[in-house]
Amino acid sequence: MIRVLILAYDFPPYVSVGGLRPFSWYKYFREFGVDPVVITRQWSNSYGNHLDYIAPGTSASEIIEESELGTIIRSPYHPNLSNRILLNKGERKWRFVRKANSAILEVAQFYIPVGPKIEVYHAANRYLKSNKVDLILATGDPFVLFHYANKLSKEYNTPWIADYRDPWSHHKENTRTYFVKLWLKSIEKRIVSQSIYATTVSTFVQQKINEILPKLPMEIIPNGYDPDALASVYNITPQNKVLRFAFVGTIYEWHPLELFLEQLHLFKKNNEISLEANFYGTNKTTWINEFIRSKYPSLIGTVNTYSKMPNQVLLKTLASHHVMILFNYYSYLGTKIFDYLAIKRQIILCFEQDPVAEALRKRYFSIEESSNGNTQLQADVLRKTNGGIVVTDAEHLQRVLTSLQEEFLRTGNIACDSRDIEQYSRKIQVERLASLIKSISSQS
């Protein structure tokens, strides 16, 4: 059996869509002839929100877990100065010091062994000193894991694969100045050019990588849904008294959240129906609650926010809803669309051509899009699978809400007649990745 060392920062029990991708490797690899050894960090999940990302680990020593699926090594985690200030003083205190400390470490970690993520490298290094692996697989971001994989590859003469969940130097948040952009591109090119292969989630991300590394062999391994995790939710039937909408995950600046809440307010004002719009594990909990209290108090009790929860619990919670809310990711497919499809609930995608949403996109969308690329990937998937409604604009949303209301009052449910979703199973994608790894290993 081929042994693969996996460097994965986001990993359960941390609640993150980014952690589900490497977790699926760990879960299914052995079924396809690959033995996974995961190096990750300890997650305490003390807060149930974004602060979990910087909270201290649970132990000062490594925690090693062995199971029939493989090995997980959880390295200690010690917050840096910036994170300690944030945890102790709050987000409004010492902002300049926090930003300066984070910026220095962000650069320095690629040249000297510093930063809060360095323990992942140390844990991997200790393991490799007494254990041989056939290949190293690093998933980013954080992209410093690529640096660690490259360093370990050279030291132990082991090939490595770079797995991109997102673009690196093309991300606007990473390239706010011209010199930072040049530096990141040079770092990315220098490090990733040493990998034997790269994998990523979509054609769009592949195009961005190829702009910097045109000769690097690449394979698209999409995200998807976990078929085992969803098996237990298929017998859940939503109640028939309140029409329930759900959204889960991060809300970005280009998402038309305010517009959606405005339209929900208008709909409720003009219609007498019991409904809920529940937001789970978002980064905008405080904003949503304050916005509703100040601008749309009629939505108090209708719009609700909830903390992050483990994926299995979350899926069961989502299955108790009738409609899933999906904001447009344009050139991205994202991850939540696959779980939405898998639980077989109607999806409403907001929006395809709304002028307000387009203005937000032009101002805030975080990736440099190609002029000739497909910018409606989610809409294409929904139309292909019959998995939901592609909402054109705010006016169309009112008609969609009216239609959903009529169906719910008539039947007590919202039908979903999706098809051909099995192709998005993570198990299928892991099988493809395992086949690629075995091919690369035999060539090496």
Same domain, 189 and 294: no
pLDDT in tens, 15-55: 888 899 999 999 999 999 999 999 999 998 878 777 888 88
Surface-to-core class of residue 315, CB atoms within 10 Å of its CB (0-12 exposed, 13-18 middle, 19+ buried): buried
Q: Mind listing the pLDDT tens digit for each residue in 255-279?
A: 999 999 999 999 999 888 899 999 9
Entry pTM: 0.85
- Tell me which amino acid residue 373 is: G
Total number of domains constituting the chain:
2
Q: Which amino acid is at 320?
A: S
Most confident of 5-14, 172-181, 310-319, 325-334: 5-14
pLDDT at 311: 81
pLDDT given at position 373: 63
Same domain, 153 and 278: no
Q: Does 412 have pLDDT greater than 60?
A: yes
Asked if residue 271 belongs to a domain, the reply is yes
Tell me, yes or no, whether 261 and 213 share the same domain.
no
Q: Is the pLDDT of residue 176 over 70?
A: no
Domain boundaries, position 173:
2-78+116-224+426-443
Angstrom distance (rounded) from CA 172 to CA 324: 28
Do 319 and 431 reside in the same domain of the chain? no
CATH, residue 399: 3.40.50.2000
Asked, for residue 101, whether it belongs to a domain, the answer is no
**Identity (one letter) of the amino acid at 51?**
L
Q: CA-CA distance, 41 to 237, in Å (whole number)? A: 37
Distance in Å from the first CA to the final CA of the chain: 15
Q: Which two tokens stand for residue 271?
A: 């219609």
Q: Can you tell me the distance from the alpha carbon of 202 to that of 208, in angstroms, rounded to the nearest whole number?
A: 10
Q: What residues are paired with 350 via a beta bridge?
A: 327, 391
Same domain as 237, residue 219: no
Q: Tokens 């692996």 belong to which residue?
A: 133
Whether 168 and 280 share a structural domain: no
Q: What digits encode the pLDDT tens for the residues 80-98? A: 888 888 888 787 788 888 8
Identify whether 111 is part of a domain. Answer: no
Asked if omega into 141 is within 30° of 0 (cis), the reply is: yes
